[in-house]
Structure 1
Amino acid sequence: MSESITLSEICISASSKAWEGEGEILATGIGLIPRIAAGLAKLTHNPDLMMTDGETYLISQPAPMGKRDISHDLVEGYMSYSRVFENLWGGKRHAMVTPTQIDSFGQTNISAIGDYNSPKVQLLGVRGFPGNFINHKNSIFIPNHSVKTFVSSAVDMVSGMGYQNKDLSNGKFEIKLVVTNLGVFDFNGKDDSFQLLSLHPGVSVDEVIENTGFDVIINSDKATPMPTDKELACIREILDPQGIRNSIFGE
């Protein structure tokens, strides 16, 4: 591809690997980068993914970002809210989310910052996080990797459970992948510790350590793989032809 590869495209490609090898499960990308990443996974390494149009239908081809002609959607079936929950409760869903805080246990917060009884900032509330994290695996995308997000102590309000309570789940709890503007991570280090898998171009290990409020296991300092030509074509021509992804990092 003649155009230079952007950070958003690197993050989309890396995030799409969250659904690799997972077969026929419901993929939910919450937010722009996760949504494009889920679509990329379906178009490349996991065509069996179930994906909705964001409303009521299962579609066989991911919907592009921005305005579109819905008459072009390839509808496979009806996907009511109740059917979404059947997949959710059965562990047949994998969502990628963007919490406001995450701690060393993998606990996540989207509810409030500060003392819960008198918060500095009121956020969304817990929304679907409690049920999601108990019932199925999740991955995480963080656009601004900093100690404000990767906090030094426990999150201010536990919206999504962490690894220290994983025995309370239905056995499906897992944070499979964490992708940020700095690199790719998971919680597969010793005793479910947070570990670095790869660094994005121009990022150093010291930068990761400085911007994470808890210890990071340096499993690898290799470079994050660049998107392939096929992935770039899918992103640029099918999934996000309007370039909305560029708004995430101001590219």
Structure 2
Amino acid sequence: MTRADVCVAACADLFAEDGEVLASPMGLIPSLGARLARLTSAPELLLSDGEATLLGPDGEPEGWLPFRQVFDVVAHGRRHVVMGANQVDRYGNQNISCIGPHERPTRQLLGVRGAPGNTANHRTSYWVPRHSRRVLVEAVDVVAGVGHDRARAAGLRYHDVYRVVTNLAVFDFATPDGSMRLRSVHPGVELDEVLGQTSFPLVTEGAGTTREPSAAELELLRTRLDPDGRREKEVPS
């Protein structure tokens, strides 16, 4: 078992209780997690190729969902997207737009893309392959995805920023003020490393160890979902 295997299993667990929703995982590890969940804990999960085809866990076509209808799914909240984050703060505000002041950034990134609508309408989680103080920041430079503090201030009824999975740990926001809480530390990672690579204080009470994937899950990963081991390049052991 490797750290990458643990991260895939943690991403699979994001979808475990979702039921029949459209999974929109962005990136290799979240995509493997969604496919693993479809084969194990979340058989009703719908997977899309990002355009119009609904796919099975092995990539075979299973249905048709024209892109224009994705917006209906988004508006009705039947979606769980796992996005990346160049920055994410203690309340789950996410930045994928730029680094530095918006009027004069030092680095231009993707732009806000669909992050505002995602966080306002349906469940959103984040995947961070390189946990560091530059990513888990006290305050994001630009708010692309809306965090719990701003959602409460704006009265966003369907806001649901769920979890953050990194290469070191798993976090949620199950605190009275919606601030980030350490849910679990990956096997082989020390708590001090997580705290030292995070720019804000974390609630750590009750944190455990991220579960290891089962033998059946490892078999699926190694022989069916990622036999070439691409996940190891994204999260080296």
TM-score bin (small chain): over 0.9
| CA deviation vs aligned residue, 1:135-182 (integer Å, no higher than 9, x gap) | 111111111111100112x21011011111224465321222211111
Give distance in 1, aligned partners of 2:197 and 2:74. 33
Match of 2:149 among 155, 164, 189: 164
Match of 1:128 among 114, 122, 134: 114
Counterpart residue type for residue 206 of structure 1: D
Give distance in 1, aligned partners of 2:56 and 2:132. 37
| CA deviation vs aligned residue, 1:204-244 (integer Å, no higher than 9, x gap) | 22211111111100033422111001111121222112211
Instruction: Decide whether the 8 Å contact of 1:51 with 1:62 is kept in 2.
Output: no
SS at match of 2:48: coil
Give distance in 2, aligned partners of 1:118 and 1:157. 12
Instruction: Decide whether the 8 Å contact of 1:53 with 1:62 is kept in 2.
Output: no
Q: Say whether 1:23 aligns with 2:19.
A: yes
Specify the alignment match of 1:48 in structure 2: 44
Aligned residues: 236
Q: TM-score, normalised by structure 2?
A: 0.94
Q: Say whether 1:140 aligns with 2:136.
A: no
Counterpart residue type for residue 9 of structure 2: S
Specify the alignment match of 2:97 in structure 1: 111
Instruction: Decide whether the 8 Å contact of 1:15 with 1:179 is kept in 2.
Output: yes
Q: TM-score, normalised by structure 1?
A: 0.89
SS at match of 1:185: strand
Specify the alignment match of 2:63 in structure 1: 77
Counterpart residue type for residue 186 of structure 2: H
Match of 1:34 among 16, 25, 30: 30
Mind listing any 5+ residue stretches in structure 1 that lack a counterpart?
64-72
Specify the alignment match of 1:250 in structure 2: 236
Give distance in 1, aligned partners of 2:190 and 2:134. 19
Give distance in 2, aligned partners of 1:207 and 1:242. 30
Give distance in 1, aligned partners of 2:234 and 2:103. 32
Instruction: Decide whether the 8 Å contact of 1:87 with 1:93 is kept in 2.
Output: yes
Instruction: Decide whether the 8 Å contact of 2:32 with 2:225 is kept in 1.
Output: yes
| CA deviation vs aligned residue, 1:53-73 (integer Å, no higher than 9, x gap) | 33321123342xxxxxxxxx2
Alpha-carbon distance, 1:48 to partner: 0.3
Alpha-carbon distance, 1:9 to partner: 0.7
Give distance in 1, aligned partners of 2:197 and 2:236. 20
Instruction: Decide whether the 8 Å contact of 1:184 with 1:224 is kept in 2.
Output: yes
| CA deviation vs aligned residue, 1:179-217 (integer Å, no higher than 9, x gap) | 111111111123112111111122222211111111100
Moved more, 201-210 or 40-49: 201-210
Give distance in 1, aligned partners of 2:141 and 2:40. 38
Match of 1:10 among 6, 9, 28: 6
SS at match of 1:77: strand
Instruction: Assess, with a 3 A threshold, how the Cα gap between structure 1 residues 62 and 92 changes in structure 2: closer, same or farther.
Output: farther
SS at match of 1:15: helix
Instruction: Decide whether the 8 Å contact of 1:15 with 1:177 is kept in 2.
Output: no
Counterpart residue type for residue 95 of structure 1: V
Match of 1:176 among 131, 154, 162: 162
Specify the alignment match of 1:240 in structure 2: 226
Specify the alignment match of 1:202 in structure 2: 188
| CA deviation vs aligned residue, 1:2-59 (integer Å, no higher than 9, x gap) | xxx1111100001111111211000011011011111111110010011113332112
Specify the alignment match of 1:193 in structure 2: 179
